[in-house]
Structure 1
Amino acid sequence: MTTPRMTLTSGWLTFAGILVIVTGFFNLIDGLVALLRADYYLVADRDLLILNFTTWGWIWLILGAIQIIVGAGILAGRMWARAAGVVLAVLAALGHLVFLRAFPVWSVLVIAFCVIVVYALTAPPRGSRAA
């Protein structure tokens, strides 16, 4: 007979999982807008640093889809998803820092979500003590 595997979760992990999924959807929207309607953004020159809006669109689409999968893994209590969630949140924050010139309010909002996700995924659950 097998014993069920217990995972240590907290409200922060649930919040982080939901927020990673929401951020993933935000990035999917960014990707679709960049691919389908690049004139929507505030910059006229269609290039951000070295990449054009089509390239950014694909980057945001792929990142957003992966974030949604990782968010589901976080909600399921998987440790790999927590580690991937931190890495993806940092990558998304850096990407939105570059994208800040094109869509400032949206990028600041997503960067704030990413910072909260990193905290929520790295904070120890309540009641646990460091050894």
Structure 2
Amino acid sequence: MTTTTQHQRSEGVRAAASGLTMFAAVMLVMCGMLDIFRGIMAIADDEVFINTPHYVFRFDLTSWGWIHLGLGVVAMAVGIGLVVMQKWARIMGVGVAALLIIGNFLDIPYAPLWSVTLIALYGFIIWALCVVQPDSESY
């Protein structure tokens, strides 16, 4: 490919790229909402979660609640930005999903099944945002 010639993508490739971006957007909004609910549960009632007395990264569950609530709100905002095809949202989506993977990993002793599920979903979101190279005119 020379610098003067620009490679044109087929309609199928463009559809796949926009489909994966939309998948990431919807999943980011949904997972962000789940983290918001998780944060509200931890803030409102600490007895909902498992108590692990000798956990290295032990925080008060109310603190974990505020962390998940804040990151969930940011994840939803970035997901909405992805729906309207904003370039900043694509970059932030990878970063926010990575932060939420770390947050959910550190939170495994308090809600193991929920944490592992969300880690997998955020991994899919990162994959969907990184695997496609959208056309420059759409971003």
Please indicate the TM-score interval, normalised by the length of the shorter structure: 0.7 to 0.9
The equivalent of 2:112 in structure 1 is 104
- Asked if 1:123 corresponds to 2:131, the answer is yes
Distance 1:126 1:78, change over 3 A: closer
Question: Which ranges of structure 1 fall in alignment gaps of 5 or more residues?
Answer: 1-7
Structure 2 distance, partners of 1:44, 1:90, is 24
* In structure 2, C-alpha distance between the alignment counterparts of 1:73 and 1:87, rounded to whole Å: 14
Distance 2:103 2:27 in 1: 17
Task: Indicate yes or no: 2:69 matched with 1:37.
Answer: no
* 1:58 aligns to 2:66 (yes or no): yes
Question: Rg larger in 1 or in 2?
Answer: 2
User: What amino acid maps onto 2:68 in structure 1?
Assistant: W
Cα shift at 1:42: 1.3
Q: CA RMSD in A?
A: 2.1
Residue-by-residue CA offset, 1:81-112 (whole Å, 9 max, x unaligned): 01111001000001110100110110011000
* Structure 1 Cα separation of the partners of residues 100 and 82 of structure 2: 17
* TM superposition score normalised by structure 1: 0.84
**Residue 5 of structure 1: aligned partner:** none
List alignment gaps of at least 5 residues for structure 2. Answer: 1-13
* Superposition deviation, residue 10 in structure 1: 1.3
Deviation at 1:37, TM superposition (A): 1.0
Equivalence map 1:9-48=2 (5 Å): 10-43=18-51, 45=53
Amino acid at match of 2:60: N
> Residue 43 of structure 2 aligns to a residue in which SS?
helix
Contact 2:29-2:79 within 8 A present in 1 as well: yes
Q: Name the CA shift for 1:17/1:57 in 2 (closer, same or farther; >3 Å).
A: same
**Runs of 4+ off more than 4 Å:** none
Aligned length, in residue pairs: 120
